[in-house]
Amino acid sequence: TNDALYVIDAVEAIFELIETGNPGSYLLESGRKGYWAQCAAHLDEHIPLTIHRESIQIDSHVRIVPVKNLTAISEAI
C-alpha cells in the first residue's frame, strides 16, 4: 500500500475500533499518498529510493480506515 503509520497512531485507531464493538477486518491507512516514500526520504536522503509496486487483493469484507491522528514523520522518528 506504500503507506506508513506511527505505531501510537495505529494503536489509538485500533482501540477506537475495539470500542465500537463492531467485529470485522480492518486495514488502517494514513490517508496520504506516497507516505512510505516520504518516511524513507526522511530517514536517509542519500539512499536512492526504489519502489516495488505490488497490488494486493483486499477482501470485500475488509474496511479501510484512515487514522484520525497522524503524527508528523519528523516527530514520529
The answer to whether residue 70 scores a pLDDT higher than 80 is yes
Question: What is residue 75's predicted lDDT score, i.e. its pLDDT?
Answer: 86
The reported pTM is: 0.72
Q: What does each C-alpha distance from 62 to 34, 44, 51, 52 come to in angstroms? A: 21, 33, 25, 23
pLDDT at position 3, please?
86
Concatenating the DSSP letter of every residue in the chain gives ------HHHHHHHHHHHHHHT--SEEEEE-S-TTHHHHHHHHH-TTSPP----------TTEEEEE-S----HHHH-
User: What is residue 46's predicted lDDT score, i.e. its pLDDT?
Assistant: 58
- Render pLDDT for 2-51 as a digit per residue (tens, 0 to 9): 788 999 999 999 999 999 999 999 999 999 988 888 888 888 765 666 66
pLDDT of residue 50: 67
